[in-house]
Amino acid sequence: MVDAADLPAANALAGGAWGIMVVVGASVGGVVSGFAGPYACFAMAGAALLTASALTSRIRRPLQAAAPDGPPAHPLAAIREALRHIGGSSRLRALITVKSAVGLGNGVIAVFPLLVASYGVGPAGVGILFAARGAAVLAGPLITRRLLDHATWLLPGLAISMGVYGLAYASAAFVPWFPLLVLLVFVAHFAGGTNWMLSNFALQGAVPDALRGRVFATDLMLTTIAISISQLGVAAVVDHVPPHHIMIASGTVTLLYACGWALLVVITPRLRTRRSDPR
> Is residue 140 within 8 Å of 189, Cβ to Cβ?
yes
Whichever domain contains 215, its CATH number is 1.20.1250.20
**Under DSSP, is residue 181 helix (H, G, I), strand (E, B) or coil?**
helix
| pLDDT score at 68 | 60
**Under DSSP, is residue 265 helix (H, G, I), strand (E, B) or coil?**
helix
Instruction: Report the distance separating Cα 143 and Cα 86, nearest Å.
Output: 30
In-domain check, residue 119: yes
pLDDT per residue rounded down to tens, the chain (279 residues): 888 788 888 888 887 787 777 777 767 777 787 788 889 889 999 999 999 999 999 998 887 776 566 676 677 887 788 888 888 888 888 888 888 888 888 888 888 888 888 888 877 788 788 888 888 988 888 888 888 888 888 899 999 999 999 999 999 989 989 999 999 999 999 999 899 889 988 888 888 887 888 888 888 888 899 999 999 999 999 889 998 999 999 999 999 999 999 999 888 877 666 666 555
| pLDDT score at 67 | 58
In-domain check, residue 217: yes
Q: Which domain holds residue 35?
A: 4-63+74-276
Q: Which residues neighbour 199 within 8 Å (Cβ) at sequence distance 6 or greater?
A: 95, 98, 99, 158, 219
Structural domain count of the chain: 1
Instruction: Report the distance separating Cα 196 and Cα 183, nearest Å.
Output: 20
Cα-Cα end-to-end distance for the chain: 44
In-domain check, residue 69: no
Instruction: Report the distance separating Cα 64 and Cα 212, nearest Å.
Output: 9
In-domain check, residue 222: yes
DSSP string, 124-160: HHHHHHHHHHHHHHHHHHHHSGGGGG-GGGHHHHHHH
Instruction: Report the distance separating Cα 267 and Cα 259, nearest Å.
Output: 10
In-domain check, residue 168: yes
In-domain check, residue 235: yes
Instruction: Report the distance separating Cα 222 and Cα 83, nearest Å.
Output: 12
In-domain check, residue 201: yes
In-domain check, residue 68: no
Sign of CA dihedral 209, 210, 215, 217: positive
> Is residue 192 within 8 Å of 140, Cβ to Cβ?
yes
| pLDDT score at 41 | 86
| pLDDT score at 278 | 54
